[in-house]
Amino acid sequence: MAPPRLAAADLTALRLLVDTVDTGSVSAAARAARIAQPSASEALHRLERRLGLTLLVRTPQGSRPTPAAQRLVGLARQALTALDAVAAEAAALQAAERQEVRVAASYTIAEYVLPALLPGAGDLTVALSVVNSDEVLTRVRGHEADVGFIEGPLDVTGLRVRRIARDELVVVVAPRHPWARLDEPLPAATLARTPLLLREPESGTRRTYERALAGLGLTPAAPLGVLTSTEALKAAVRAEVGGTVLSRLAVAADVPAGTLVEVPVAGLDLGRDLRAVWLPGRLTPLAASFARATVSPGASDEAPVSSD
């Protein structure tokens, strides 16, 4: 019998198989591939039929690989890694032809840090995507961005990392809010049990706030509202909807002007690192030039900026 021949569509199914084995869940693999779970299940069934093998044992608790799948997954990883390398090299060649560097940055860094750094990039064309920090990592790992800029506590396993600055979150309220007239710092426990206007859960700002409270054994109250825009949060606070937690960079003009009031919080460390990230060995000469121009000022030496 001739061995089965895999079609282009089977590459998607192989990636789904690898992700399912890694996560134990077809649903999680479908989310990573940005497709519906039924579509992922059908793709995996189709792969099983093409190969003539049962690859997954499906249970209410999740999916686990059969011995046949365990033998195939290693080869599938090699094939997908090679395919990703081809795609990354093609993207790098395209970027080099366009003199373009693809950059993904979190909202805070894109709005309040990068504008001062971009002039150092010279004549390079920067294609900037502004997304939350989780999505920045997804784009860098998926070869959709040459360099990423993130904030807050995130898993950067497998990436080159360089700290570019130190930031701090602050609690801000409207001038007529009761916290604006406190004589002493606000207790962290009071802050935790008060519903606030917050960024989405995937944002670096939200993660930093929640981790800081967790370090004190505190759990934040359910948000009063969730907004994905820093400016929208500030507008809502000025309208006296509630308080929020934002980067000090984001309120650098508002607090001195008196449109927002900073509320000191007792014993709560809201500091965080702002970091640049990229895939090892994936910086094109153009991207390396951009990184040297924008990352080096004031950066720590977690990783050298080179095309390695």
For position 49, what pLDDT does the model report? 87
State the SS3 of 82-130.
Answer: HHHHHHHHHHHHHHHHHCEEEEEECHHHHHHCHHHHHHHHCCCEEEEEE
Per-residue pLDDT tens digits for 224-276: 999 988 999 999 999 999 999 999 999 999 999 999 999 999 999 999 989 99
Maximum Cα–Cα distance across the chain: 83
- Residue 178 located in a structural domain: yes
- Residue 236 located in a structural domain: yes
pLDDT above 70 covers a percentage of the chain that reads 89
Whether 100 has a pLDDT exceeding 60, the answer reads yes
- Residue 184 located in a structural domain: yes
Per-residue pLDDT tens digits for 37-52: 888 888 888 888 888 8
Whether 24 has a pLDDT exceeding 50, the answer reads yes
For position 126, what pLDDT does the model report? 84
Whether 223 has a pLDDT exceeding 60, the answer reads yes
Nearest-5° angle of CA 249, CA 273, CA 258?
A: 20
- For the residues 119-131, what does the mean pLDDT come to? 79
- For the residues 9-31, what does the mean pLDDT come to? 84
pTM (predicted TM-score) = 0.62
Q: Radius of gyration of the chain from Cα atoms?
A: 23
Q: Is 277 exposed, middle or buried (0-12, 13-18, 19+ CB in 10 A)?
A: buried
The DSSP call for residue 229 is: -
What CATH number is given to the structural domain containing 263? Answer: 3.40.190.290
E strands within the chain?
56-59, 62-65, 100-105, 125-130, 147-151, 160-173, 186-187, 197-198, 225-226, 244-247, 261-263, 265-266, 271-278
pLDDT above 90 covers a percentage of the chain that reads 41
Q: Among 102-116, 149-163, 223-237, 292-306, which stretch is predicted with the lowest mean pLDDT?
A: 292-306
- Residue 39 located in a structural domain: yes
- Residue 57 located in a structural domain: yes
Whether 296 has a pLDDT exceeding 60, the answer reads no
- For the residues 193-221, what does the mean pLDDT come to? 94
Most confident of 66-75, 112-121, 269-278: 269-278
User: Which of 69, 89, 109 is a domain's end point?
Assistant: 89
- Residue 137 located in a structural domain: no
- Residue 297 located in a structural domain: no
How many domains is the chain built from? 2
- For the residues 279-300, what does the mean pLDDT come to? 73
User: Which of 89, 106, 139 is a domain's end point?
Assistant: 89
What CATH number is given to the structural domain containing 30? Answer: 1.10.10.10
- Residue 266 located in a structural domain: yes
| Residues in Cβ contact with 94 at an 8 Å cutoff, skipping those fewer than 6 apart | none
Whether 178 has a pLDDT exceeding 90, the answer reads yes
For position 298, what pLDDT does the model report? 45
User: Which of 89, 107, 122 is a domain's end point?
Assistant: 89
Whether 192 has a pLDDT exceeding 90, the answer reads yes
Domain with 214, as residue range(s), is 166-271
